[in-house]
Structure 1
Amino acid sequence: MTDFIAGAVGGAFGIMVGYPLDTVKVRIQTQKNYKGMWHCIYTTYKMEKMSGFFRGLSMSMSTVSVCSSISFGTYKSCLHNLCKLRYGSAEVKPSNLDIFLSGYAAGGVRVLVTSPIDLAKIRLQTQMQLHPVVPSSCLLSEPKYHSSVHCLRTVVQEEGFLGLYRGCSALIFRDGPSFATYFLSYAILREWLAPAGQSKPETLCVLLSGGFAGMLAWTVATPMDVIKSRLQADGASRPKYRGVIHCLKTSVRQEGVKVLFKGLGLNCLRAFPVNMVVFLTYEFILTLTKQLSI
C-alpha cells in the first residue's frame, strides 16, 4: 500500500512539471504543420496563449495519481511475489530479470486505466482553440470537445465504448517495454551511483537515476508513442488508420522511418526533470512512512 501511495504522490508532482512539453510533443507527432519544437511552441502561444499548453490537464491531474499508483504499486507487488516464488523470500535482492518482468507487468496493467484518459488528453491537445486576445480574423471552427468529460462522452456516443480504447494495443506495446526499461535502469543507476556502504540513496543519486531512467524509457517508447498518438487522434467519422500495423506502414511510407522518432528529443527533455521529481517524491514518501511506522 505504501508503494501505491508514494507512486500516486510522485506522479501528481511529475505531471505538473512536464505537461506543457507533453502538449508540444503530441502536436508534433500528430500534425504535419509544425517545423519543429520551437515552431510548435511559438505557434501554440501565438494562437492560444499559455492556455494552449494545458489542454486536457484537468483529466490528467485528476487521474494521473491513480495511474502512477497502479504503476508503482503493481511493480512492487509483482517484484515481491516473484521473489517469494523464485527464492522463497521477498527480502532477497531481486535480479535484473525480476525487475524487468515486474516493470513489464506494471506497464501492461496500467493500460486498462490509462487508455481512455490518454485518448481524451490527445484529442484535447490536438484541437486548437484560439485565445480571446487573438484577432477575430484568425478564428477557427468551434472546437469539438469542450472538456475531458465532454470528450469521453462524445467518443462513446460516436464510436461506442470500445472507442475509448482506440490505440490500446499500441499503448500496450509502448508501456510494457518502456516501464520494464524504466524500473530496471533506475535500479541499476541508483545502485551504481550510490556511495558504497549506504543503504539509503542520497538526493542527488535519486535525482540523476530517476532523470536518466525516464530518458531511457522514452527512448524505447517513442516509436510506438507516435503510432499510439496518431491512432488516438484519429476520429471515427473518417479514420485514416485501420490499426497499429496500417498506421505504422502508412506513416513510414509517407514520412520515412524518421517519423517513428518524432518528438524523441522533446520526450527526453521532458522526461529528465519529470522523473527526477517523480522518483524523489516516491523515495521521500517511502522513507517518511517507514519512519512513522517505527
Structure 2
Amino acid sequence: MTAVNNYLTIHPFIPFPELNMSEAAITSTSTAPSALNRRDVTRDIFSASIGSVACCYTGQPFDTVKVRMQTNPSAFPSVAFTTRSILANEGASALWKGAVPTAMGMVAENAMAFGVNEALKRTFPDEAKKDPTLRPDLVKPFLMGAITGCCSATVLIPSEIVKAKTQVIVGNVEASSTEVYKKMIRQHGLRSLFVGFDAQIMRDAPFYAFFFGTYELNCYLFRTYVPSMPEELNYFLSGGFAGMLGWTAAMPFDVPKTNVQASWESRVVGSYFPELFRIVKERGPLALYTGLVPTLARAFPANAALFLGVEMGKKFFDRFVWP
C-alpha cells in the first residue's frame, strides 16, 4: 500500500480506468458463442428429422434381411435366399417390418446424435475451417463421434429392441410393434426397454466415431480434389461412404447385440460378452460379420439419404423457417 500511495502522490492526475463488472460480464456472455442456443438446437432437430425419415424408408428392407440372417443363419444363409423367402412367404411389405418404431427411433436418435455432435463442434470449434488455405482437424471429428455414440445409445435402445423382436417373427404372423412392446412390458416391465444396454454402447461408440469422422474427411477430400463437384453430390457421396465405413467398424459388435436384443431372456447388462463368446466358439470369428453384405448394401443409400436430408434441411431451415 505504501508503494501505491507514493505513486499516486507523484502522479496525481493519471486516471485509473473504471470498469463496471456487471456490464462487462453481460457483454462477454452475450457475445460468446453458445453450444445450446435455441435457434441452433431447433435447426439441428429439424434437419435431423428430415434426414431420419429418408434414411429409414430407404434402408429398412436391407436391415430386415440382415436381422434375419444374423438371428437364424441356418434358415437364412444368404442375402438372395433371404430376400426371396421373405417376398414369397410374407410379401413385399414384410421388408418394412418394424419401420414405424425404427423411424420414430431414428428421429429421436439422430436428433440426439446430430444435436450432440453439432453442439460439440460449436463448443470446440476448428479454427482452421475459417481459413480455406489450412487443413481442418481430421482427428477431432472421430473423438466427437465416439462421445456422440455413447449419448445416442440411451435414446435409441428401446426402439432397437422392439425392432429386433419384430423383425425375427417369421411367416404371416400378425405382430405389430405395439403388440411386441406390450408383451415386453407385461413380461419384464420397463427394464425390458433397456435390454442389452452394454451391447448398444459397444456398437454405437465405434460406429459414430467412424460415421461422423469419415463424413468430415470425405467432404474435405472431395472439396480438395474434386472442387467442381456440386455440394449436394458431395453430401450424398460422403454420407454414403461414411455409413459403409461406420458399419464395417461396428459390425462385429452388432451381431451379438442383435441376438441379445431379439431374445426374450436377455438382461439389461451382462448378456453381451457371453453371446459374443458363444458366437465365436460355435461359428468362428467370421460369424461376427454375418449380414455384412446387406448391411453395406443398405448403408450407402440410407446414409447418403440421411446426410443429404440433414444438409438440405439446414438450408431449408435457414431460408424459410428461421432466417
Cα distance change on mapping 1:42 and 1:200 into 2, 3 Å: closer
Structure 2: distance between partners of 1:186 and 1:79: 14
CA apart distance, 1:195: 5.3
What is the one-letter code of the residue matched to 2:67? V
Q: What SS does the corresponding residue of 2:182 show, helix, strand or coil? A: helix
Q: Is residue 8–residue 67 contact of structure 1 (8 Å, CA) maintained in 2?
A: no
Out of 283, 287, 291, the residue aligned to residue 319 of structure 2 is 291
Distance in 1 between residues matched to 2:277 and 2:108, nearest whole Å? 34
Q: Displacement of 1:291 after TM fit?
A: 3.4
Residue 282 of structure 1, CA deviation: 1.1
For 1:221-236, what aligned pairs fall within 5 Å after superposition?
Answer: 221-236=250-265
Aligned to 1:159: 188
Amino acid at match of 2:47: A
Q: Per-residue deviation at 1:9? A: 0.8
> Which of 48, 60, 63 is 2:102 aligned to?
60
**CA distance, structure 1, for counterparts of residue 281 and residue 119 of structure 2:** 42
Percent identity of equivalent pairs: 27
Matched to 1:285, the amino acid is G
Q: Which runs of 4+ in 1 moved over 4 A?
A: 89-94, 195-201
Alignment of 1:93-112 (within 5 A): 95-112=137-154
- Residue in 1 that maps onto 2:289: 261
Question: 1:83, CA displacement in angstroms?
Answer: 3.1
- 1:289 & 1:225 partners in 2: Cα distance? 34
Structure 1 residues 199 and 166: alpha-carbon distance in aligned structure 2, compared to 1, 3 A threshold: farther
Structure 2: 5+ residue stretches without partners: 1-40
- The within-5 A match list for 1:1-294 is 1=41, 2-32=43-73, 33-83=75-125, 95-130=137-172, 146-194=175-223, 202-236=231-265, 243-292=271-320
Q: Which one-letter code corresponds to 1:41 in the other structure?
A: T
Alignment TM-score, normalising by the size of structure 1: 0.86
Higher alpha-carbon deviation: 96-105 or 262-271? 96-105
Q: CA 1:66–1:199 in structure 2 vs 1: closer, same or farther (change >3 Å)?
A: farther
**Alpha-carbon distance between aligned partners in 1 of 2:107 and 2:77, rounded to the nearest angstrom:** 34
TM-score w.r.t. length of structure 2: 0.79
Instruction: Tell me the distance in 2 between the aligned counterparts of 1:282 and 1:83.
Output: 20
Letter of the structure 1 residue corresponding to residue 143 of structure 2: L
The offset of 1:14, in angstroms, is 0.7
Single out whichever of 17-26 and 45-54 deviates more from structure 2.
45-54
How far 1:105 sits from its partner (Å)?
1.7
What root-mean-square deviation, in Å, do the aligned CA atoms of Structure 1 and Structure 2 show? 2.6
Cα deviations across residues 50-69 of structure 1 (Å, max 9, x unaligned)?
12212111212233212211
Alpha-carbon distance change, 41 to 210 in structure 1, aligned in 2, over 3 angstroms = same
Q: Which amino acid aligns with 1:193?
A: F
Mean CA deviation greater in 225-234 or 153-162:
153-162
The one-character-per-residue Cα deviations of 1:128-177 (angstroms, maximum 9, x if unpaired) are 132xxxxxxxxxxx66xx32122122112212322211122111111111
Counterpart CA distance in 2 for 1:5 and 1:165 is: 27
Cα separation, 1, equivalents of 2:170 and 2:115 = 36
Whether contact under 8 Å (1:78, 1:105) holds in the other structure is no
SS in 1 for 2:169: coil
**1:213: Cα distance to partner?**
0.5
What is the rounded CA distance, in whole Å, between the counterparts of 1:290 and 1:254 in structure 2? 54
Query: Helix, strand or coil for the counterpart of 1:35?
Result: coil
Shift of the 198–4 alpha-carbon distance from structure 1 to 2, 3 Å rule, reads: farther
The whole-number CA distance in structure 1 between the counterparts of 2:81 and 2:306 is: 29
Q: Which residue does the alignment assign to 2:35?
A: none
Which residue identity does 1:14 align to in structure 2? C
Report the alpha carbon displacement of residue 82 of structure 1 after superposing the two structures with TM. Answer: 2.6
Aligned 8 A contact 2:112 2:152 in 1: yes
**Structure of higher CA gyration radius:** 2
User: Which 5+ residue runs of structure 1 have no aligned equivalent?
Assistant: 131-141
Change (3 A) 1:197 1:38: closer
Look up the match of 1:134. none
**Matched AA of 1:30:** T
Q: 1:90 Cα shift?
A: 10
Shift of 1:101: 2.0
TM-superposed deviation, 1:196 = 7.0
